[in-house]
Amino acid sequence: MGRYIFRRILQAIPLLIIITIVVFALMQLAPGGPLALYKQNPKVTGEDLARISRNLGLDKPVPIQYFNWLKRLVTGDWGTSFSSSRPVLELIKERMAATFTLMFSSFVISLLIGLPIGILSALKRYSIVDYIVTFFSFFGLSMPVFWFALMLQLLFGLKLGWLPTAGMKDPFIDFELWDRVRHLILPAAVLSLTSLASWSRFMRSSLLEVIGQDYIRTARAKGLSEGKVIRKHALKNALIPVVTIIAIAIPGLFSGAVITETVFAWPGMGRLYFDSLGRLDYPVLMGVLTVTAFLVVIFNLVADIIYGILDPRISYD
Amino acid sequence: MRRLVTLVFVAALVVVMAASFSVSAAGGRVIVMNQQEPNMINPYLDSMQATFDVSQLTWGGMLELDEKWELIPSLALEVPSLQNGGISKDGLTYTWKLRKDVKWSDGAPFTSEDIKFTWEYIMNDNLNVVSRTGFEEITAIETPDKYTVVMKLKQIHVPMLYVWTGPTIVPKHILSKSKNLNEDSFNMNPVGLGPYVLDKWEHGSYLIFKKNPNYWRKGYPKLDQIVYKPIPDENTAFTQLATKEIDVYQTFPTNQYKQVKALTHVNVTETASTYWEHININCKSPLLTDVRVRQALRYATDLKKLQETVYEGLWPVAVSDQGSPFWKNAKLKPYQFDLKKAGQLLDQAGWKLGNDGMRYKNGKKLTLVISTTAGRIPREMTEQILQQDWKKIGVDLVIKNYDAGKFFATYDEGGILDTGDYDLAVFAWGSSPDPDNYTLWHSAQFPPAGQNNVFWSNKRVDELIITSRKELDVNKRKAMIDEIQQIMWEEVPMIPTFYWVNLDAFNKNIKNIKPNGTSSGNLWNAYEWELK
Q: Is 0.95 exceeded by the ipTM? A: no
Q: What is the number of residues in chain B?
A: 532
CATH of segment(s) B275-500: 3.10.105.10
Residue B367, beta-bridge partner list: B396
B428-464 tens-digit pLDDT? 998 778 899 998 999 999 988 889 999 999 999 999 9
> Would you call B493 helix, strand, or coil by DSSP?
coil
Decide if B186 contacts B118 (C-beta within 8 A).
Answer: no
Angle at B525 between CA B524 and CA B527, to 5 degrees: 125
What does the pLDDT read at residue B22? 36
Where in chain A is CATH 1.10.3720.10?
Answer: 96-310
Residue closest to B316 by CA, chosen among B456, B491, B498, B187: B498
Question: Taking CA atoms, what residue in A is nearest to B41?
Answer: A84
CATH superfamily for A96-310 is MetI-like (1.10.3720.10)
Sort strands B248-249 and B494-507 into parallel, antiparallel or unpaired.
antiparallel
B200-219 tens-digit pLDDT? 999 999 999 999 999 999 99
CA separation for the pair B322, B481 (Å, rounded): 9
Mutate which of B33, B249, B408, B419 to test chain A, going by most A C-beta atoms within 10 A? B408
pLDDT top residue among A64 and A226: A64
* pLDDT, mean of residues A99-109: 91
What does the pLDDT read at residue A55? 87
What does the pLDDT read at residue B24? 38
What does the pLDDT read at residue A187? 93
Give B 402-461 residues with CB within 8 A of chain A: 402-415, 417-418, 429-432, 437, 439-440, 447-451
- Which amino acid is it at B271? T
What does the pLDDT read at residue A213? 86
> Would you call B165 helix, strand, or coil by DSSP?
strand
What does the pLDDT read at residue B8? 52
Could B239 and A154 be called an inter-chain contact, meaning their C-beta atoms sit closer than 8 Å? yes
What does the pLDDT read at residue B15? 46
Chain A contact for B8, CB < 8 A? yes
What does the pLDDT read at residue A81? 92
CA separation for the pair B527, B60 (Å, rounded): 12
Mutate which of B29, B131, B401 to test chain A, going by most A C-beta atoms within 10 A? B131
Quick one: which H or E segment has residue A8?
helix A2-29
Query: Which member of B15, B229, B439 has the closest CB to residue A43?
Result: B439
Could A278 and B414 be called an inter-chain contact, meaning their C-beta atoms sit closer than 8 Å? no
What does the pLDDT read at residue A46? 83
CA separation for the pair A232, B75 (Å, rounded): 80
What does the pLDDT read at residue A133? 87
Q: Is B153 left (phi over 0), alpha (psi -120 to 50) or beta?
A: beta
Residue closest to B453 by CA, chosen among B279, B301, B293, B297: B279
Of all residues in chain B, what percent carry a pLDDT higher than 90?
82
Fold of B1-58+194-247+509-532: D-Maltodextrin-Binding Protein; domain 2 (3.40.190)
Mutate which of B136, B137, B205 to test chain A, going by most A C-beta atoms within 10 A? B205
What does the pLDDT read at residue B6? 52
- Flag residues of chain B having pLDDT under 50: 1-2, 10, 13-27
What's the sign of the alpha-carbon dihedral B448, B449, B453, B458?
A: negative
Question: Taking CA atoms, what residue in B is nearest to A109?
Answer: B8
- Which amino acid is it at A120? L
Could B126 and A55 be called an inter-chain contact, meaning their C-beta atoms sit closer than 8 Å? yes
Please list, in sequence order, all residues whose beta carbon lies within 8 angstroms of the beta carbon of residue B234, skipping any fewer than 6 positions away. Answer: B35, B252, B253, B256
* pLDDT, mean of residues A207-216: 88
Mutate which of A28, A41, A82 to test chain B, going by most B C-beta atoms within 10 A? A41
**Maximum alpha-carbon separation in chain A:** 86
Chain B contact for A175, CB < 8 A? no
What does the pLDDT read at residue A316? 66
**pLDDT reading at A3 higher than 90:** no
Number of helices and strands in chain A (H, E): 14, 0
* A/B interface, count of CB pairs below 8 Å: 225
Could A42 and B431 be called an inter-chain contact, meaning their C-beta atoms sit closer than 8 Å? yes
* pLDDT, mean of residues A44-67: 88
Question: Taking CA atoms, what residue in A is nearest to B205?
Answer: A267
Q: What is the CA radius of gyration of chain B?
A: 26
When pLDDT is cut at 50, 70 and 90, the band that residue A164 belongs to is very high
Give A 184-223 residues with CB within 8 A of chain B: 185
CATH of segment(s) B60-187: 3.90.76.10
Q: What is the pTM of this model?
A: 0.87
The pair phi, psi for residue B186, each rounded to 5°, is -55, -40
Decide if B314 contacts B503 (C-beta within 8 A).
Answer: yes
Q: What is the number of residues in chain A?
A: 317
The pair phi, psi for residue B501, each rounded to 5°, is -125, 125
The full set of domain ranges for chain B reads 1-58+194-247+509-532, 60-187, 275-500
